[in-house]
A and B are shown apart, each in its own frame.
Chain A
């Protein structure tokens, strides 16, 4: 079964850091680009970051640029999101998703991990 499972969410103070992980299984992880998408409580979806299959190409939404770092370890079938200088507005459910490069869409969603930034 194709799946991605996020972990690492939790409660963190403003200005703090957190590292999210995503474990992929059921598909050849190294053959797919990956993204992080988040959803603030009661709000819509927001694309956060993209990483190509090899890790050579990376993009960020303006809202997280300079604070978040996406990375991957294809040998471990894992995706990561290092989040620094966290703000209250980063509070959200963070979804690890598989991207399909040919048509620029998302075809696999994780269940998400919750990040709460609060003092």
Chain B
């Protein structure tokens, strides 16, 4: 069974840049997996940030960007702000009607 891997936690200073990654237990994440990214704060439903690897969802600030770095999908936050402190989840489409979320990364801004 394919597992989608994310860093459990990360920290960034206000104004800093952080890159969160999304990998596969076997193989590489490519654009063919249509990676997407979601932000969730406690008690709230997720919010869609990025889809199709690098397309920002409507209303998402341009300090959020998506890419493929090596064999992983990546979410980069440039100029981190206090309200970026959230859980971030990636999701990939494995094909054959199977979607898998990563375990999520808890981002601390301090």
A and B bind:
yes
Q: With a CB–CB cut-off of 8 A, which chain B residues contact A107?
A: 48, 51, 57
**Interface contact B45-A106, CB-CB below 8 Å:** no
Q: Is chain B's binding surface mostly helix, strand, loop or mixed? A: strand
**Interface contact A110-B45, CB-CB below 8 Å:** yes
In Å, the complex CA distance between A58 and B81 comes to 40
**Interface contact A45-B101, CB-CB below 8 Å:** yes
- Contact flags (1/0) for A26-46 with B, using CB distance below 8 Å? 000000000101000000111
Q: A112's contact among B45, B87, B97, B101, by CB below 8 Å, is which?
A: B45
**Knowing that A44-B104, A45-B101, A47-B91 are A-B contacts, what are 14 other residue pairs whose CB atoms are under 8 Å apart, sorted by A's residue number?**
A35-B99, A44-B87, A44-B101, A44-B103, A45-B40, A45-B91, A47-B99, A50-B97, A59-B98, A61-B98, A95-B46, A103-B34, A105-B36, A107-B51
Q: How many residues of A contact B (CB 8 A)?
A: 22
List residues of A whose CB falls within 8 A of some B CB.
35, 37, 44-47, 50, 57, 59, 61-62, 95, 100, 103-107, 109-112
Let me know if B102 is at the binding interface, CB within 8 A.
Answer: yes
**Interface contact B45-A105, CB-CB below 8 Å:** no
Q: Give the top 10 A-B pairs by smallest Cβ distance, nearest first.
A: A59-B97, A104-B93, A105-B51, A105-B36, A103-B52, A47-B99, A104-B34, A109-B45, A45-B101, A44-B104
Q: With a CB–CB cut-off of 8 A, which chain B residues contact A106?
A: 36, 38, 46, 48, 91
